[in-house]
Amino acid sequence: MDPRGNSDTVEPVEAYLDELFDRLAGTGRAGRWALAEAEDHLLSLVDEEKARGAGELDSARAAVARFGDPALVAAGFHKRITGPRAFVCGLASGAWLFAAIAASAIGATGLLSVLLLRVVPRWFDARDVQHPVEAVGDRLLIGLAGLAALAIFHAARRRGPLRRHAFAAPVGALAAFTAVAAGLVGLWLTVDVAARVSLHTAAQTNAGEGLSIAFVLLFLSAGASVVGVRRVL
């Protein structure tokens, strides 16, 4: 209950919000945001009516009337989150998230390559062993750009326009796709690297690079699997 109103004020507002809540059932996080915004707006309207000299109950009733029929408000919200604009925005934010994760993963392969160059230099091309910074420098820069993009995405999702469902990335679908795709490619690369090592062609084929990519993809697959399971549960 908001401290700005007594029971007379709250009763019409709460009744309105209860009906709006029922009509927004199934809209998830976006519906919760919409309901919270509706409550803030309604209470602001109540304050405006009070400032004009209206009583508690009259202020609440006037605020509800000004806000509009809950059926129409809910219908407009459903249209906003299911229309073509919502679909396009979801794809755009999904592409942003996927690109940011991919760029961060590229940077991670660079870091892992630096480590493997010290541990198993015989699995890398001689030029990479002699000039490790040149070998991974571009990937590290891409990784930093990816981390920056992820930070911006997170901020926009928490406080910016991406918190609304119409602009939300399809995280569940992205997690499932990433878990499967990254896992399969990571396993294939692992088997491929093992074959190169067994054939004593690791250095000639730069097997160390393949191993660093495989490790990152498998880690990414595991992380995406966790996200996907949490979405389901």
Rounded-to-integer distance, Cα 155 and Cα 167, Å: 13
Residue 221 confidence class, pLDDT cut points 50, 70, 90: very high
Phi-psi region of 53 (alpha: psi -120 to 50; beta: other; left: phi over 0): left
Q: What is the structure's pLDDT at 60?
A: 87
User: What per-residue confidence (pLDDT) applies to 8?
Assistant: 47
| Single pTM value for the model | 0.63
Rounded to whole angstroms, the Cα distance separating 96 from 146 reads: 10
Contact 39, 1 (CB under 8 A): no
The predicted model gives 208-219 an average pLDDT of 92
Tell me which residue of 202, 211, 185, 177 sits closest to 108, measured CA to CA.
211
pLDDT digits (tens, 9 = 90+) for 60-112: 888 899 998 888 888 887 777 666 776 777 778 788 888 999 999 999 999 99
Q: Which pLDDT band holds residue 232 (cuts at 50, 70, 90)?
A: low
Tens of pLDDT, residue by residue over 20-65, are 888 888 776 677 777 888 888 888 988 988 888 888 888 888 889 9
Q: Does position 6 have pLDDT exceeding 50, yes or no? A: no
Q: Residue 38 corresponds to which tokens in the numbers above?
A: 């509706």
Most confident option among 36-40, 132-136, 185-189, 226-230: 185-189
* Residue-by-residue DSSP string for 180-233: HHHHHHHHHHHHHHHHHHHTT-TTTTTHHHHHHHHHHHHHHHHHHHHHHHHHH-
Across 182-202, average pLDDT: 89
Confidence of residue 9 (pLDDT cuts 50, 70, 90): very low
Between the alpha carbon of residue 102 and those of residues 17, 116, 154, the distances in Å are 42, 21, 16
At 85-95, the pLDDT tens digits run 767 777 787 88
Report yes or no: 143 and 183 within 8 Å, Cβ to Cβ. no
pLDDT digits (tens, 9 = 90+) for 126-180: 888 888 878 888 999 999 999 999 998 888 777 655 555 444 556 777 888 889 9
Question: Distance between CA 157 and CA 107 in Å, rounded?
Answer: 23
163 close to 89: Cβ distance less than 8 angstroms: no
In this prediction, residue 212 carries a pLDDT of 92
